[in-house]
Amino acid sequence: MSIDHNVRAALRQTAQGVSKATLTAVTVSVVSDGYKRSSGSFITDGYGVGDELYVTGFSNAKNNGVSMIKVVTADKLTVDKEGGLAPQAAGASVTLLVGLPRIRVWDNRKEEPVVGRPFVRDTLHIAESRATSLGPRKRIQHEGVWFLDLFVPPDIGMLAADGLVGALRLAFSPGSELTYTGQRVMLRRFTRSNPVPSGKWTQIPLTVKFTANTINPT
């Protein structure tokens, strides 16, 4: 695989593993307009208005999948879910995840944005490649930038986006290293730029600067 493919895969893999808030194997019931818990606090656990919630583990498939959080209290998440919810007694193996938006406009995964839901788009740019050793099988160092654009609904999405950007900043902490099929990617800088209007969304530009090495086979 090319250096572009491996670096992009390492960066996307890390972003897809980011979590702003997660509860696993938790006992949660379903009511007509959301999810309820009998102990603990959704507020303390980091869930917020404007978060995109991804749920798995309910026996009724209608209660799984993506919804948008509209109201948060200690014991309840009120959500807006396409197709609605089906009231269901508490299940003990439910997962509630707030992570990278499920709509990802990757170059090999052309999903269409949905109004009212967040999405991400990325671009990889390797700016310079230079030899750092001489002779056969010389080492090549590549320097580049990964642009990750986060698009959120402008009315309720900004506060939720702040938490997600914070989680991404930790995942791409400068000085840390990512790997993908043996390819090492060294992270140099994480930057968040000012949000800008973009149609029916607000765009939050994020950039990750990196270096990666390959060996010239000849």
* Residue range 43-93, pLDDT digits in tens: 999 999 999 999 999 999 999 999 999 999 999 999 999 999 999 998 778
Dihedral through CA 103, CA 204, CA 77, CA 12, nearest 10? 40
Per-residue model confidence (pLDDT) at position 111 = 78
Under CATH, to which class is 3-18+101-215 assigned?
alpha beta
Does the structure show a pLDDT above 70 at 108? Answer: no
Does the structure show a pLDDT above 70 at 1? Answer: no
Does the structure show a pLDDT above 90 at 118? Answer: yes
pTM of this structure: 0.91
Distance CA 164, CA 150 (A): 10
Alpha carbon 76 to chain centroid, angstroms: 23
Location of each CATH 3.30.2000.20 domain in the chain = 3-18+101-215
Does the structure show a pLDDT above 90 at 159? Answer: no
Location of each CATH 2.40.30 domain in the chain = 19-99
Distance CA 110, CA 103 (A): 9
Under CATH, to which class is 19-99 assigned?
mainly beta
CB 212 within 8 A of CB 186: yes
Pairing of β 19-31 and β 34-37: antiparallel
